[in-house]
Amino acid sequence: MLVLSRKLEESVMIGDNVEIKVVGVHGDTVKLGITAPRTIPVHRKEVYEEIEKENILASKMGVRIEKVDILEHIFRDGERAEEAKRKAKDEGKE
């Protein structure tokens, strides 16, 4: 890994059209300004990793076909319970 030291307002060029500039340093946080063509996606690494992890989880979470049938009931029951709770609360107020 190439390691470079940069001061505030100094930058690093990657290729001809990607610039990464240090725009702020506060405690242990470094704020970076990134200028790149729109065709280059820029993301915080943890966002990518988080989504990757969730995708893998989603793919493993057995899509239990027979269970999916009951989703409808769960929603209906959930809504009904919520409705009942709300009504009880409203009546309590009056």
Partner 1 sequence: MKVVASRFGELEVREEEIFTAVRTLPGFPNSSRYFFIERRNIAPFRWMQSADEPDLTFVVVEPDKFFHDYEPRVGAFDLEEIGLGRGEQPFVLVIVVLPEDLTKMTANLKGPLMFNLKERKFKQAFIETEKYTVRESIIEGIRRKEKARLEGEEGTGAKSTKSG
**Residue 92 makes contact with partner 1 by CB under 8 A:** no
Work out how close the CB of 53 gets to partner 1 at its nearest, in angstroms, rounded to a whole number.
7
**Residue 75 makes contact with partner 1 by CB under 8 A:** yes
**Residue 91 makes contact with partner 1 by CB under 8 A:** no
State the burial class of residue 58 (Cβ atoms within 10 Å of its Cβ: 0-12, 13-18, 19+).
exposed
- Comparing C-alpha atoms, which of 4, 53, 1, 49 is closest to residue 30? 4
Apex CA 61: angle with CA 57 and CA 65, to 5°? Answer: 150
Contact 12, 36 (CB under 8 A): no
User: Where does this chain touch partner 1 (CB under 8 A) — which range of 4-12, 18-26, 27-35, 64-72?
Assistant: 64-72
Among 7, 16, 28, 41, contact with partner 1 (rule: CB under 8 A) = 41
**Residue 68 makes contact with partner 1 by CB under 8 A:** yes
